[in-house]
């Protein structure tokens, strides 16, 4: 009986790929957010920033009347 011939290079690469995929999945569970969650967070930040900017009294860096100036 002859055993099955195995290409060791392909087997090594397949094992490394599986290890990498397993580690990536663990990292996603621990640290990751889905694309939808990131997009929602970015949209909320954009809306908050726009809301605050809309309530500014004057542009930053400009002196208005009544302030100490030349």
Residue-range domain boundaries for the chain = 8-54
Q: Which residues contact residue 53 at a Cβ distance below 8 angstroms, ignoring those fewer than 6 apart?
A: none
Tens digit of each residue's pLDDT (9 = 90 or more) over 41-52: 999 999 999 999
Task: Evaluate whether 18 touches 11 at the Cβ level (below 8 Å).
Answer: no
Asked if the model's pLDDT at residue 5 lies above 80, the reply is yes
Mean pLDDT of 46-59: 88
User: What is the pTM (predicted TM-score) of this model?
Assistant: 0.42
């Amino acid at each position: 009986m002859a055993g099955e011939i195995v290409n060791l290079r392909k087997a090594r690469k397949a094992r490394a790929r599986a290890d990498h995929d397993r580690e990536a999945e663990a990292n996603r569970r621990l640290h990751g957010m889905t694309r939808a969650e990131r997009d929602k967070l970015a949209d909320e930040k954009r809306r908050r920033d726009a809301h605050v900017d809309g309530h500014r009294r004057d542009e930053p860096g400009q002196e208005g009347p009544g302030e100490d100036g030349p």
